[in-house]
Amino acid sequence: MDIDWLMNECNDPYTLERLFYVERYAWLSLSPDMCAVISIDGQFEDVNTHWERATGISREELQGRYLIEHIHFDDRERVFADMQKLITSDIGSTTFSFRFLCKNEKHTRLNWNTIFSPDHNAYFCTVHDPTQEKAADQRAYRDMLTGLSNRLALEETLPDVLAEAEEAQSQVAVLFIDLDGFKEVNDTLGHKAGDTLLVRTARRMKFVVGQQGKAYRLGGDEFIAVLPKAPDRGFISGIAGQLVEKLRTPYDIDGHMVNTGASLGIALFPTDADTPGGLLEAADKAMYDVKRGGKNNFAFHRVKAKA
């Protein structure tokens, strides 16, 4: 794509709008910090998902609100004076902090780094919670979109889980979960709706798995659930069945009823494999058996009979 041509000679407003959208989406989704796009009149146009963990306010709730609603009364004049300078002076960016009204009606002091973009006619802000700095080293092990533990965390913790199970002579279940219909949501409603779907899916997984295990996001629409103390297939089938049922319940995303589902493959330690890689491979194969069989269900790994 010729960016210079797009910016200087392209006369198609839809193409330019699409370019700005992709640019903004990438910045919001890839940043490890709270980020916000705020209109020139102070309205939250878009935010990423990190706000909910810090403030208790979800992405959907914050969008459309006005910044002034969340600034402590004693901080408002100073904050808006600093933001106005970005428009009227030659400074490229500014930093400030103020007490932000959170979900619990309490104020938390947040540090803001802000620029104003004339091309977008909006403020672009990255926001830090000083009280969370001690937890910064944990970000490497957390999926920044959903808040679940990520692939790196799975790779580091699963060997220990298996070692403990071997010592206790107990069984571990690994569930490979792939969403059905996720691509269609992205294609029809856009990446923002797709991200919202992934966040809601992660919440449902955590609710079902609860204290029985842990859910991880591998990437895209692929997830793993590990049940470290799975007594028998009946127990595992109960958890898997609840996941299938919960994940096929329709979602209301920006006024659209979204219907998806999930295909689950299950592998058992030590029956199906005795290594982390072997378990994930066996669960992945079982998941694809479900896909081929009609999706929206679960299945245990089956050892193929030799010819």
How far is 100 from 272, CA to CA, in rounded Å? 51
Give the DSSP letter of residue 71: B
Helix axes 182-189, 191-209, angle to 10 degrees: 150
- What residue has token string 């904050």? 79
Under 8 Å CB-to-CB from 288, ≥6 apart: which residues? 263, 265
pLDDT at position 128, please? 87
Helix (H) or strand (E) holding 202: helix 191-209
262-294 confidence digits (pLDDT tens): 999 999 999 999 999 999 999 999 999 999 999
Enter the pTM of the model.
Answer: 0.65
pLDDT at position 306, please? 46
Which of the residues in the chain have pLDDT under 50?
A: 1-3, 5-6, 16, 305-307
Active-site residues, by number, are 221
Contact 209, 259 (CB under 8 A): no
Question: What is the CB neighbour count within 10 angstroms for residue 293?
Answer: 11
Residues belonging to the chain: 307
How far is 24 from 72, CA to CA, in rounded Å? 28
Between strands 172-180 and 261-269, the pairing is antiparallel
pLDDT at position 233, please? 94
pLDDT at position 2, please? 46
